[in-house]
Structure formats: structure tokens, C-alpha cells
Amino acid sequence: MEIVSEEEEPPDTTPFFRASNIEKSLKLKKLYIKFEGASITGTQKDRISRLHARRAKALGYDTLSLASCGNYGASVSYYARVQGLGSVVAVPSGYSGERNAEIEQYGGTLLREDGKYENLVDMMRDLGNDNCWYDCNPGSQNSFIDFLGYENIAFEIISQLGHAPNFVAVPVGNGTTMTGIYSGFKKAYRMGQIDHIPRLIASSTDGGNAIVHSWKMKSRKIVDLDPLRLKESRANEPLVSYHSIDGQKALNAIYESRGFAGYVSDEEMIRTSSFIERLEKVQALPASSSALSVAVRVMRKFVDYPECVVVLTGRGKPWTTQ
């Protein structure tokens, strides 16, 4: 991907459309897709990486640092480069590394480290402190930026649809994206822009995710999983998580909005991603397609709440070859 200057960057707003073919095929009432895969590096992470890179520059940092499954790393290294800054990205060595070449292409320093993603977040926090790097990890002193960036997804949905839908489905890993979207709907409600807050639907991988696990256990408090029992795979890397860093906030959002959470298998994610491509002609990353799977389960149960927006957080090809 060619680096464009800040002036040439496209606006943040991502496509929103009615998924009429999926509606017909699955006999659903009103299904909409908010497609985050259309952003420059292909995931919702661009919304926050751009803000972090601008902030890092304004504060006088020369390097941004983080741990990542790959998507956030590619996005941060791209936007760091736009600002003329460096980036250091740690990716677990056991991960597929599908986006590693891209991270390096944007000038990022890639560290392939043993350990789980969560361990690498701690490692990068310490390394960043020692080296005076700007910390882009979720849960850092800078992560209020994440929520501000993701609130825009809610504001855009309201303006693109003209009102608040009954449901909004979002894939969760750390829960940061869902927390930001919920915060956006709450702000819009408080400002009188919408007359209700949508019920949130969280989707994740049956390889293990602390948010979905806690909701299924009916726990109000986030419960970590046993790291040894996680099943990581190429398809579920963005979502698998024994300790979701913004998990408590995301879980609160699900309970407060009277929402739902569900697991999806790798096979179903991959199948759903092909289904979306066949019917709606957008290439969605399998992990992000999990949102449609869980949304459909909920919509079938709650037929009196006909309108659902599915946030597809990432695009599929060319960097996935499922």
C-alpha cells in the first residue's frame, strides 16, 4: 500500500448499506452492514491509529509502540509513517504473521516474540517506558483516544441510518471497539440525537474470549480464562483472548444495553465470510464475519426488534487467503 500524505487521506467515514440479499436469503427483516474494511489498511484500527500517530507527534515522540495480532500493527505502522514517525510492533511468534510484511513495508520494526498477545502487551509497555516510546496498547494512559475514535462508528451509523437501530453487532477481542461504540451511542442519546440506545451483540471465537465467556456464565464481573485452554488459529487471532483488556467495560456495555454475546467456530466464520462475499460483494475478514453469525441467531429470537446493524471490522483478501 502506498503511503499518502495526511492531506490526501480519505475521510474516516466508512460504507454503510442495507444487506438486502442476505435479508432475503435468511428471511430477516432489516439488516445493515457497516463496513470498516474499506479503510486504508482494512480494519477499524485505522480510526484510532491515525489519532494516536497525530497525538504522538504533537507530544514530541518519535516512535509508537504496541503488541498486536497484526491488524493494529499494520495500521499503526502506516499512520506513524504518515506522520514521519517510527513504530515498533511485537507480534506473537505463534501467530500466522499475515501482516508482518506490511508492518515492515511501512517502516515498522517487527519483533516476533514467544508468548501470548497479553504477555507481549506487558512486555511492550515496559520496553516503551524504557525507551520513551508512545504507548498505543489498549489499557495504556493513551487509550482514552481509542474510545473517542470508535465513538465515531456509532455517530456514523446514526447519521447513515437516520436513527438508532434495535441491535448493533460487533466482534470482540479486547472489547475496546465495542466499548467505544457504546460510548458513542450513549453520548448521542444524552444529546437527544437518538431516542434509545441499541442493544449490543458481541461475537467472538469459540477458541476462547473472556467477554463472551463471562456473559455466558452470567457473571457481571469479567472472568479471565485459563491461557493454556485457548485455541488460537489463523482465523481467530484477532478475537482470541484469555484476558480482554477492556473486557469489564465491554461486558458492562452488553448488560447495560440488554445485549447478547455468542461464540462462533472458525468453520462458521470462514463460511460466513464467503457467504457475505457471495451475496453482498464485500470481502469480510472471517473474524469480523462472526458478528453476522451471532446477529442472525439473535434476530431469529427477537423478531419484534427487526433492525440490526452488523459492524464488519475488517476486509478479507488480499491479506487473508482462507
Ligand X SMILES: Cc1ncc(COP(=O)(O)O)c(C=O)c1O
Beta carbon of residue 24, minimum distance to ligand X (angstroms, whole number): 27
HSE-CB of 106 using CA atoms within 13 angstroms? 32
Round to the nearest angstrom and report the end-to-end CA distance of the chain.
21
CB closer to ligand X, 38 vs 57: 38
Our finding on whether 175 is near ligand X (CB under 6 A) is yes
Residues in contact with ligand X, counted by CB under 6 A, come to a total of 18
- Assess 172 for contact with ligand X (CB under 6 A): yes
Rule CB under 6 A: is residue 273 a binding residue for ligand X? Answer: no
- Which of 174, 257, 289, 293: binder of ligand X (CB under 6 A)? 174
Residue 171 touching ligand X (CB under 6 A): yes
Using the minimum distance from each CB to ligand X, give the nearer residue, 172 or 270.
172
The helix/strand/coil state of 134 is strand
Between CA 197 and CA 187 the distance in angstroms is 10
Cβ closer to ligand X: 67 or 299? 67
Binding mask 51-70 for ligand X (x = CB under 6 A): ------------------x-
Nearer to ligand X, 30 or 280 (CB): 280
| Residue 287: all three cell numbers together | 473474524
Pair 208, 230: CB distance under 8 Å? yes
Instruction: Assign residue 243 a region (left: φ > 0; alpha: ψ between -120 and 50; beta: otherwise).
Output: beta
Binding of residue 288 to ligand X (CB under 6 A): yes
Give the residue, chosen from 120, 210, 285, 310, that forms a contact with ligand X under the rule CB under 6 A. 285
The residue within the footprint of ligand X, chosen from 232, 314, 316, 320 (CB under 6 A), is 314
Q: Which of 133, 48, 52 is nearest to 90 (CA)?
A: 133
Is residue 203 near ligand X by the rule CB under 6 A? no
Distance (Å, rounded) from C-alpha 81 to C-alpha 63? 10
Residues 6+ apart with CB under 8 A from 280: 17, 19, 21, 22, 33
Closest distance of CB 300 from ligand X, Å: 23
Query: What are the φ and ψ backbone dihedral angles of 291, each rounded to 5 degrees?
Result: -60, -35
Q: Which is nearer to ligand X, 100 or 176 (CB)?
A: 176
72 lies in the binding site for ligand X (CB under 6 A): yes
- Rounded CA gap, 319 and 322, in Å? 9
Contacts (CB under 6 A) with ligand X, residues 234-253: 238-239
Which residues are at the interface with ligand X (CB under 6 A)?
A: 43, 69, 71-72, 171-177, 238-239, 285, 287-288, 313-314
